[in-house]
Structure 1
Amino acid sequence: MRSALKKHHLKYASIADILVLTESLGLLIKTRLWLQILIGMIAGIALGVLISARGMALVDRHVAELIAGWLALPGYIFLALIQMIMVALIFSSIILGVASCGTGEQLRRLGIRIMPYFLCTTTVAVMLGIVLAELVKPGAYISQLMVDNTSLEPLSQAANAKEFVTQSDASAARHLNFPKTLANLIPSNPLRAALDGSMLQIVVFSIFFGIALLMIQSARAKPLLDRHLREWRRYMTFIFGPCRLPRMP
């Protein structure tokens, strides 16, 4: 039984895959990506203090806005690349991960082991978020005038933003339905979920799709896994190659 499972795993997780992932991880460690991020943060703060009107104001306000716009361009491109490939990359990666579990029984055992960890970490994250929100109270120190004047805040369309938020929270609390929330995790239209960027629904659909491939014969599922999904993931990582995502063989 173990030898059969091992052979099945080798079909989808070859030695080349492991070597490529190990090499990519070693590259991230050698290049000290964390240090580059830290240097970028410090440089951004320093530059903001130098050219900002609220800082040293070394240049004119319009010149500062022009410089800031061009400096922000790589960040906008980076985020756009992430959003462009996220749905396809998550879809293919989850399906390949589920389909490579071997058998339905092995997938069930893996799910039983992972579920308590997932529930515990999610609970801790939610509790930590609630505690920090109560302690820090984000947004409490922002003046109402700033909220009304910003063009990025949808609540500026309301006459009284604070009252609008209060009413919205009360309405959401009245309509909170936990069973319906769980039911909404299953996408009624996967294409609509992909269009709206509903990542949780995409993850659920991908899991069901991977389980379906796991249940059918391996010979029938292999062409879809190897010729389409694996190649699809390779293309997505190639598009995002400048950001050092692991390249799949």
Structure 2
Amino acid sequence: MPGTDFVVAIPARYAASRLPGKPLRLLGGEPLVLHVARRALEAGAREAWVATDDARIAEALADSGVRIAMTSPDHASGTDRLAECAAIAGWSDDTVVVNLQGDEPFAPAEGIRAVAEALVDSAAPMSTLAAPIEDVETLFDPNAVKLVRAGNGDALYFSRAPIPWPRDAFARDRGTLPSGGHWLRHIGIYGYRAGFLPRFAAMPPATLERIESLEQLRVLEAGHRIAVRLSPAPFPPGVDTPEDLDRAERHLAALRAGG
């Protein structure tokens, strides 16, 4: 949608249990977080901000064209950090903010734009993306978050369990994915109205969120809408481990070689 005006905020915490110092790990000779910020700008974001609690990350992004929000080291979640970033940036309440994770160096520009467009088109306070599930292993994988939508495209529920459950088909065979295309995997990119961020951050953790360990369920349980759009392009896996970083290095080399 030409003309969609949005900003991107990238939470970047130095401490990461599986990959310490992750935002500054080098990919193609440059910090991982810089690759992510470039994807945001390439997608057409008016501004790209990195919300961090570590001066080393700010220093690594100097002269990159990316703006820095130095946020508290005490935030419990990326949403809390994003809310403080919105306050530092001075965005108006209706500003469309895309939350792009700092470990997504290959996030497609079309997908970043799509989550912003979904927010604008729906008038919901929050939006996200999904992709069809194409194999039964993904459906049963608790690390792959599933979701179901209402007829208007809003999220009804997110779960680590296989939803919806095809009762009759799985009574016969759980080893293959039934036909019908009803299954969606959640993609962890979000759009928000800036004015909703402090409200979200102020909500106490909800029962469903605690059960599933999914923060977005806090929003649904509080009665707010989350608009969901199918991603127009695949999102390659993010970088969480040293093995992921090696894979990303090979992928980047192939891209640069035109492969």
Same-fold call, TM > 0.5? Answer: no
Which structure shows the bigger proportion of residues in strand conformation? 2
Q: Report the TM-score when normalising by structure 1.
A: 0.23
Q: TM-score, normalised by structure 2?
A: 0.23
Whose radius of gyration is greater, 1 or 2? 1
Q: Which has the higher helix share?
A: 1
